[in-house]
Structures are given as structure tokens and as C-alpha cells.
Amino acid sequence: MVRITINGVEYQVEDDITILEACNRLDIPIPTLCHDERLNPYGACRLCLVELKGKNKLEASCTTKVRDGMEVETHSDKVVRTRREILDLLFSNHPEDCLTCEKSGDCKLQDYCYEYGVEKGSYLGEKRDYSIDDSNHFYTYDPNKCILCGKCVRVCDQLQGTSAIGFENRGFKTKVSTPFDMGLAKSTCVSCGNCVAACPVGALLPKRKIRYRAWEVKKVKTTCSYCGVGCQMYLLVKGNQVVGVEPAEGKPNNGLLCVKGRFGYSFINHTDRLKTPLIKRNGKFEEASWEEVYDLIVSKIKESKAKYGPNSLAGLTSARCTNEENYLFQKMFRALIGTNNVDHCARL
């Protein structure tokens, strides 16, 4: 442990952590645009600068480790002035689209500009004028709104392991790109959307069938039902409709999802979706209650077992069930019905 003083108050914190990590653990807010605790520190946005006693330059708190006796100011006049200047520079080079931008209300650049009193970019000059890449089926990339925080590139490389995107060009012309500028649709991108979830601004956005503002949706935490990994996710619910999905932090998925969990939710509101079980009577499916269905299943199993023995029956279970449900299913087949004919849809 080391002793450090932050904003005049002394704390004991673990050694070998950064000033930003120490502040996060102590609930002392520090703004960041490029930081993600799942990724290696990057030090690009400079918004997390803090003042250290005895040094006449500001240091990025995400890349500076705590030291015993260190005295840190996170919101001195100099720090706040510098952050305002950084935000001013970023917004000077940014479309003033907040009124219609889908990210409004959930955008870190917008939030920090509000917090630090940046009303408009004061550096007038050339603005970027790139076309929007909407070739991917599920999301769009608008380079004009990109603040070059590098989160998408690092998430794709360090967490997703696909490395489908990188930076091209230098300076003012830098933008996120695919190899040989082939466009997202033709790249190795697997459309997991993990870059989209990490983007702090409206540069990477999911394509929405139903439009919504961040404050209009209720976030309902749940477990993805597509496979047995158990990824944690939020369903975004507007009224009584699921209008989007966001990854949630969780042991199985570390804030990541795959393309199915992230974008395959439209079946939930689909008009063809079955809401009750069906029983075929006289060659036609008819709606039935669960009680009727279970009675029918039990009678058919008993009938088949009595006539042809337990091995006349086989059970196929599903990757969409939990481990516990799959365990119970095989137990029912082995112990109750008396057959080892149990398998799983993943091997069909």
C-alpha cells in the first residue's frame, strides 16, 4: 500500500495501480474518453490529466502510477482550463449535430462539453467531410464524428481478437479504416458490435429499426438466450417493445457480445412469434394451454415406452437452455424414462 493525497485528503491505496484507477476506486470523478478498464492504458485523449505537486506539467492519470507521498489535484484551475481547451479543440473539429444525433443523451463528448462549459468549438477552420460507411448490415461508421480515441480498434484487437479495423493516414486526416479501405462489409469484421458498444460518441452507431432517445428506454438486465455461454446483456425497452441490446459486464462475457446476442433481437417483437404452445388436431395446429400440452407429451411417452420399450424414445435438448435445465433434461431421460438416447442441438 502507498499513501497519496488527492485534493487535500490523504488515502491509502494499493501500489502498482494508476492514479486513475485509485480515483475510480475512491469515487473521485476523472473524465476520460479513451480509457476502458478492460484495455491497456492508451493516454490518447488527455482528458484525464491531473496536476502533481512539484511537477510543472500535467500528467495523464491513466498512464501514471501512484507513488508513496504523491500529492494529486484532479480539478485545479489549471487542470480544468486544460480539459476545457481539449474539449474545445475536439468540438471545433466536430459536426454540431447534437439535436439530431442518435447518440445524444448517451454521448461522453456531449456530457463533458456540458460539464466543462464548452458551448461551441472556438477554432474555426476546415471540418472533416467524409462519407458515412453504412455497408455493414448492423451498424454505421461516421468518421466526421470520430474523436480518434482508438477504443474500437483496441477492442476489436485486444478483446474480440478479430483485428478488422485500424487507423489510416496521419494528423487531421486520420480515420478508422479497414485493411485496403475495403469497407466494413467486405472486411474480416464479424459484426459483433463490440466496437460500437465501446465508442464514446456517435461515430459508431447500431442501425435502429425503431428510433429512441437514451432517456426513453428502460434497461433490463438479462442473460442471452442464444447459447450456453450465459453472456450478460441489457434489453433496451421502449414502451412494450425491445428496441436494442447493449452488453453488460459479467463474468462470462467481460462486456462483450456476439452478433446474435447483440443484433438478433427482432424476433422478440415479431408478429409470427408463437406465444402459446400448439397441438395438431385433424391436420391443423391449434393453440393449447401448457397443461394440455404436458398431458399429451406424458401420455405419448408412456404409450411408446409401454409398446416399444424405453429405447424407442430419444430426447434432443437445446443450447438455449441453461446448464441446470440441460442437466434436468438428461436426468429425466436417463432416470425416469430409462434411456441414454439424449443429445443436444449443437451436434445435430
One of 199, 224, 231, 337 touching ligand SF4 (CB under 6 A): 199
One of 22, 87, 192, 245 touching ligand SF4 (CB under 6 A): 192
Q: Does the protein bind ligand SF4 through residue 176 (CB under 6 A)?
A: yes
Rounded Cα gap, residues 46 and 32, in angstroms: 8
Residue with cell 394451454: 289
For ligand SF4, the closer of residues 24 and 162 by Cβ is: 162
Q: Which bin fits 178, alpha (ψ -120 to 50), beta or left (φ > 0)? A: beta
- DSSP letters spanning 147-202: ----HHHHIIIIII-----EEES-GGG-EEE-GGG--GGGSS-----HHHHH-SST
Q: Does the protein bind ligand SF4 through residue 13 (CB under 6 A)?
A: no
One of 18, 32, 191, 317 touching ligand SF4 (CB under 6 A): 191
CB 102 within 8 A of CB 214: no
For ligand SF4, the closer of residues 4 and 153 by Cβ is: 153
One of 30, 49, 156, 301 touching ligand SF4 (CB under 6 A): 156
User: Which is nearest to 151 in space by CA: 89, 82, 62, 80?
Assistant: 62
Least distance between ligand SF4 and beta carbon 268 (Å): 22
DSSP 61: T
Q: Does the protein bind ligand SF4 through residue 255 (CB under 6 A)?
A: no
**Residues pairing with 343 in the sheet:** 316
Q: Does the protein bind ligand SF4 through residue 149 (CB under 6 A)?
A: yes
Q: Which residue type is seen at 199?
A: C
21, 60, 64, 66, 112 from 50: Cα distances, Å: 13, 6, 10, 12, 16
Least distance between ligand SF4 and beta carbon 158 (Å): 10
For ligand SF4, the closer of residues 79 and 109 by Cβ is: 109
Q: Does the protein bind ligand SF4 through residue 177 (CB under 6 A)?
A: no
One of 36, 45, 103, 245 touching ligand SF4 (CB under 6 A): 103
Q: Name every residue whose Cβ is closer than 8 Å to that of residue 85 and which is 6 or more positions away in sequence.
A: none
Q: Does the protein bind ligand SF4 through residue 165 (CB under 6 A)?
A: yes
Q: Does the protein bind ligand SF4 through residue 50 (CB under 6 A)?
A: no
Three-state DSSP class for 51?
A: strand
For ligand SF4, the closer of residues 202 and 243 by Cβ is: 202
Chain residues binding ligand SF4 by CB under 6 A are 94-95, 97-98, 101, 103-104, 107, 109-110, 145-152, 155-156, 160, 162, 164-165, 176, 189-195, 198-199, 201-204
